[in-house]
Amino acid sequence: MSVSENSCEIPETESHSCRTHNNSNIAEHQSVSVPKLLSVRKRKVVIHFDLNNTILVSDAVTNQGTVAALEYFLSTVTWGRMAKGKWEWMCETPSLLPPCEGAVTYYSQFGRVAGFTTVGAGKRFRKALDEHLQLLRWPSHLPADKEFSVRGEDGKQYHWIIPSFFRLLQDLASQGVEFSIVFRTFGTDLSRVLTVLQRALEQGSHPIFPDLPALKLSVNKTPGRIRCSTKSVVLTRGEEHVSTRDGERTLYEYLSSLKGLGGFQDHFDWWARNTYSILGGKPLWVDPFDSTAQHIFIDDNIRQNDKDTIVHPMVFLGPNDSQTRTASTLELYDLCLIQNDLLRAISDPTYFTQRIQICMENYKKNLELTKGGRSLEKCVHLQVSTTE
């Protein structure tokens, strides 16, 4: 089982500035039997990765282990509504998008609920929890690993970093795609993640992926920091210091130039002060006219509701322009923004590769339109057709 569409009819979505949707859930179900990324000779892909509930099924800040983190995720992708003072379910399976108008997630209605599928209202989703916990299990023939496995609340050993992330690195490298990974998290796991990944990529310390050093990827172990205010966005890492006071394109070019793997802790308090809306989210600069670099952000908290989403995309108005505008999430969905389906990331080793492929193909189509003289605000975003 993975996050899927519900049987409720989804209302037609209003056209947005850079794309049209007949069914806003369609990209969720696209899959490719053998993921093959585009041959991008001149375009680098900069992938901004959230950590918790994206590549880690745990959260040090909230002290959630694997079981609790997965239960929490399920509460954010199961839908219902209040009717006559009682909660009424409107879905039978988890879904990233609302199954029909008026549906809200259990989490948005009630907040974090311990034991959501065991003692809470989400018992109907217990099977999904058990299935994906089983898929996350550390191989029984291997001893527990202090870096790459983690003991769950149930006493069982699980993957700490989900295997589909390592598969993505292998796929990108094997197909000759120039790329960098930039971890973007509000949490406190960044330093440990960078340290562990350095050992895996440079020393071959991962028991299941011992050949990672062949990818020749470097890891910058110094955690960076991004801080936002009404006046500027400031990015620091070690001796590096970049600010929008020097122009927003300065930060865009800095992030585009990054190599290997590294990461930054984003500004949670700023997001909270902006009522968890798009304007307080993790900043992402997008230049739709840039044929040399594409930025993609993967986060489980990306939502098509701009009042409740975690990334703030700022799109440059023209080639080499210094001015930006805030783009809606839907405008860049599956172009530069990926709402992580944690269940599929667990169950399908090629999930991240598939999602990146879709974004790369959609970006290529939009790039051709902008080269034809159309602005991003007027272009039509065509979804990629793929076969099961």
pTM for this model (two decimals): 0.89
Give 35-80 pLDDT, tens digit per residue: 566 554 579 999 999 999 999 999 988 889 999 999 999 999 999 9
Among residues 296, 341, 352, 383, which one has the least CA distance to residue 5? 341
Among residues 62, 51, 59, 70, which one has the least CA distance to residue 190? 51
**Looking at residue 2, what is its pLDDT?**
58
**Looking at residue 34, what is its pLDDT?**
43
Domain boundaries, the chain: 26-57+161-371
Taking residue 107's Cβ as centre, other Cβ atoms within 10 Å add up to 17
Cα separation, 310 vs 304, whole angstroms: 10
**Looking at residue 119, what is its pLDDT?**
85
Among residues 356, 363, 368, 328, which one has the least CA distance to residue 170? 356
Give 121-167 pLDDT, tens digit per residue: 999 999 999 999 999 999 999 999 999 999 999 999 999 999 999 99
Which stretches in the chain have pLDDT values below 50?
5-34, 40, 378-388
- Return the C-alpha torsion angle 202, 205, 211, 212, nearest 10: -50
**Looking at residue 37, what is its pLDDT?**
61
212-232 burial by CB neighbour count: b if 16+ within 10 A, else e?
beeeebebbbebbebbbeeee
**CB-count burial class (<10 Å; 0-12, 13-18, 19+) for 174:** exposed
Using alpha carbons, list the distances in angstroms from residue 233 to 241, 270, 298, 370: 11, 11, 21, 28
**Looking at residue 4, what is its pLDDT?**
53
